[in-house]
Amino acid sequence: MRSEDMKQALEDTALLWLLLLVIAFIHGAEAVGLELPLIERTILWRLQQDPGISAGIAAFIVGILLVLRPGGGEHRARRARYVLVVLGAVGLVSLLGFDVALGNTFLLTAVHLYRRYARKKREGETPAPAAALSVGPKVSLLTILIPVCAALLATLITSKIQSGYFLPPAPEKRFLRARHFTSATPVLSEPAGQAPRTLTVHPRLTREQVRQSYWKEGGGWSVGKVLYDLERRGKLEGLPVTDERRLQALLEPALATGLLVTPEGRSAVEHGLWGIVAEAEGREGARRLFLSLGAGEPTGAFSPYYHFLFEEPAEGGPLRLLEAQHYFPSSSGYEGIEPPGLFIIYLLLFLLLSLLVSFWWVSRKRAT
């Protein structure tokens, strides 16, 4: 493969590379707490809110890059014509039913491929440089497959180091998949400033105060992130206060998990707790209760917080713990990146490194 082949491949997929870079930037910005208000109404906000969709789009783009890999002459031109049909279909579906920005990116790439390959074929021109068929150094599929595998391995290792899990539980994300939310309330443990005996409605904090403090300050206010997410989805306004009896029933099973400890392993409840309780209807009428807790008083400094997701059967009965997880963020914000976001960032870094190595290898072979 010649350097001209690599250049042609990059020109064909420039918009897709840009989209991959943007996805990585979005998740990196979220990890360090950077607010990006200009993207609130675009696909970028949706990608930020759902890392699973981001990872799916990144995987689709990597598949396209594999198909449009450099070299191959007429065979690559044929593959490009198939790809433009797929991109056109996916872009049209996204344009009509998901998001204009993502749809236009795929459609513009499809139009570019059509002009470069399909139209020339119809007009009887050579759709790809004949030099692409010449004998020369080749770069195999490993140019892309190795970065994908390396990104996956790095993501699993990082997740294990951060949380103790290869795929850590995500109680908040699971709670937010509910379609109908029924209440949300700031809570405080009693007696105040002492080891907790029960939870009650916070006497000083409102939902709006917690949401605004998380948006402006972050840090320990991350306990209230669920309110921010509900508001962004248009689900927060008008929600009633959670029933006191349900609040009182949550503390004991949360303490029983043994999760409420500091990074050093000491108890985190000696000076009281505060947090958020949100309620939603789950499958088959079951009620889900999400509990987010922080130790002591709310603060803008980085401090541990704890998430619990409980389910109450529709027919009644004791609460069942579905998921629980602790978070020990640092001032770097690195611990805040979820596995799909980590994968995208690692993938972009390893792909760029792989391309640089490929350019160097091709140039070296040509020189000899």
Tens-place pLDDT, residues 9-47:
777 777 888 777 777 776 666 555 555 555 554 555 556
- Residue 71 is predicted with a pLDDT of 63
Distance, in Å, from the CA atom of 110 to the CA atom of 75, rounded to the nearest integer, reads 18
Confidence (pTM): 0.58
Span of 81-85, 165-169, 278-282 with lowest mean pLDDT = 165-169
Residue 142: phi, psi to the nearest 5?
A: -60, -20
**62: which 2 tokens?**
């990597």
Bridge partners (DSSP) listed for residue 292: 276, 307
User: Contact, 194 vs 214, CB < 8 A?
Assistant: no
Closest CA to 68 of 111, 121, 6: 6
> 3-state secondary structure string, 65-89?
HHHCCCCCCHHHHHHHHHHHHHHHH
pLDDT in tens, 102-131: 777 788 888 878 877 765 555 555 544 444
93 pLDDT exceeds 60? yes
- Give the pLDDT confidence of 302-360 residue by residue, as tens digits: 788 899 999 988 777 788 999 998 887 654 444 456 677 677 778 878 877 887 777 77
